[in-house]
Amino acid sequence: MNDLTEHLRERVLAAATDRKPLRIRGGGTKDFYGNAPSGELLDTTGHAGIVAYEPTELVVTVRAGTPLAELEAALGEQGQMLAFEPPHFGEATVGGCVASGLSGPRRASAGAVRDFVLGVKVLDGKGEVLNFGGQVMKNVAGYDVSRLMTGALGTLGLLLQVSLKVLPKPAAEATLRLELPQDKAIEMMNRWGGRPLPVSATCWHDDLLTLRLSGARAAVAAARAKLGGEDVAAAAAFWDSVREQRHAHFTGDVGGSALWRLSLPSRCAPLDLPGAPLIEWGGALRWLTFDGEASIVRAAAAKVGGHATLFRGGDRSGGVFQPLSESLMQIQRKLKRTFDPQGLFNPGRLYAEF
C-alpha cells in the first residue's frame, strides 16, 4: 500500500535532465511483447494498492504496481470481476495490464481493457502528474486520453493509477464442446453471435469448438439445451489455459517458434496460410505459429481487413506490429511528442519511429 508518486516523478525528472530513456516495467510478464524494451529500468511494483473500491459504484481505483491477481481477488470477494479477463502471464501488475491492452476470452462479448478504463493518472515526459477521465462511468470532458494510454505500451506516459469499471460475476456458466472443422466453426460462431445467446467465450482448436455460456441461470440452461454438444469437465482450467496461453497450441511442439496474433473481422474464412490457428473471440482473433516471411502473414491479414502482430518469438528486428499508413503514423508521432517530448518512455517499444 505505497504511494511512490514522488519517487517515480524524481526518476522521470532525472531522466529528462540526463536525457536517458526509461524502460517502465511492472511485473515484467510482458517483456516479450512489443519491440525489444530498452532504457534504464524503472520498476513500478512498489507503487501499489487499491485506492478506492466501491462495489455498488462498479468502479475500482488502483495503483499501477498492484498485482493483477490481488485486484482480481479483491473483486472476487465482492462477487465482481474484470470482465475483459486479462491474461496475467505470471505476476502481472495492473499497470502492465492496461499498458499492454491485452484482453482474454470474454473480450468479444464483454469488451476489451479499453472499454473498461474510466480514468488514468499518469506522469508525462515532463514529470507532470496528469489526470484524465475519472471515477465515473460516463465522462466526455476533454479528449479520451485514458483510452489513448490503454495499449500504448507505456510510450505516452507512466501510468500511476487507473480507474476501471467492474462487473458482477455471472450467476451461472456452462462450457460445452462440439466437433467442427475450421470453416464450419467460424460460420457457427458468427451465426450464434447474431442470436440473443449468452455466449461469453469461444475457442476453436484441432476441430473442436469449445463454447462458454454465462449469465442468468435460466438463460444458460436454455442455451445449453439449444446448442447441444458435450459438457466439458474442468472448464475453468481450460479457459484459464487459453487465457494464459498454457494451452497445447501455445506450448506444444508446433514446428515453429514465431507466434502470430491475427486480429480480423470475425466472419473471415480460414486464411490461406500454412498451419492451423487457435481461434477465439467468435472468429475475430486467431493465433498462428508461422516461421515464414512476416510480410506473408501481414498481407494475408490486411487483405481481409485485419492486422497481424508478431506476438512471441520469431525475428522481431523488423518491428512486431503491423506498419501504419504515413498519415496515421504522423498523427501518432505528434501524439508521442505531446506527452513525451524527449522520447523518454519505452523508446521504440511500439514502433521504431518513436
The footprint of another protein on residues 256-315 (CB under 8 A) is 263-267, 281, 284-285, 305-307, 309
As separate numbers, helices (DSSP H) first and strands (DSSP E) second, the chain gives: 12, 17
Q: Which residues contact 246 (CB under 8 A, 6 or more apart)?
A: 240
* Assigned C-alpha cell, 102: 491485452
Q: Any contact of residue 352 with another protein (CB under 8 A)?
A: no
Q: Which of 19, 194, 253, 272 binds another protein (CB under 8 A)?
A: 194
Q: 149, 120 in Cβ contact below 8 A?
A: yes
Q: Any contact of residue 342 with another protein (CB under 8 A)?
A: no
Residue range at the interface with another protein (CB under 8 A); choices 16-24, 66-74, 133-141, 251-259: 133-141
Q: Which of 3, 5, 139, 291 binds another protein (CB under 8 A)?
A: 139
Q: What is the distance, to the nearest Å, from the Cα of residue 26 to the centroid of all Cα atoms in its chain?
A: 15
Q: How far is the CB of 258 from another protein (least distance, A)?
A: 17
- Rounded Cα distance between 119 and 139, Å, is 9
Q: How far is the CB of 330 from another protein (least distance, A)?
A: 8
* Assigned C-alpha cell, 183: 470453416
User: CB-wise, 16 or 329, nearer to another protein?
Assistant: 329
User: CB-wise, 19 or 138, nearer to another protein?
Assistant: 138
Q: How far is the CB of 45 from another protein (least distance, A)?
A: 25
| Residue that has been written with the C-alpha cell 454438444 in this structure | 229
Q: 305, 90 in Cβ contact below 8 A?
A: no
Q: Any contact of residue 5 with another protein (CB under 8 A)?
A: no
User: CB-wise, 43 or 266, nearer to another protein?
Assistant: 266
Per-residue contact track with another protein, 64 to 83, x per CB under 8 A?
A: ---------------x----
User: CB-wise, 48 or 308, nearer to another protein?
Assistant: 308
* Per-position DSSP letters for 8-37, written without gaps between them: HHHHHHHHHHHT--EEEESSSTTTTSSSPP
Q: Any contact of residue 225 with another protein (CB under 8 A)?
A: no
Q: How far is CA 98 from CA 16, 105, 154, 161, 199, in A?
A: 24, 16, 9, 10, 25
User: CB-wise, 45 or 306, nearer to another protein?
Assistant: 306
Pick out residues in 165-184 that bind another protein (CB under 8 A): 167-169, 171
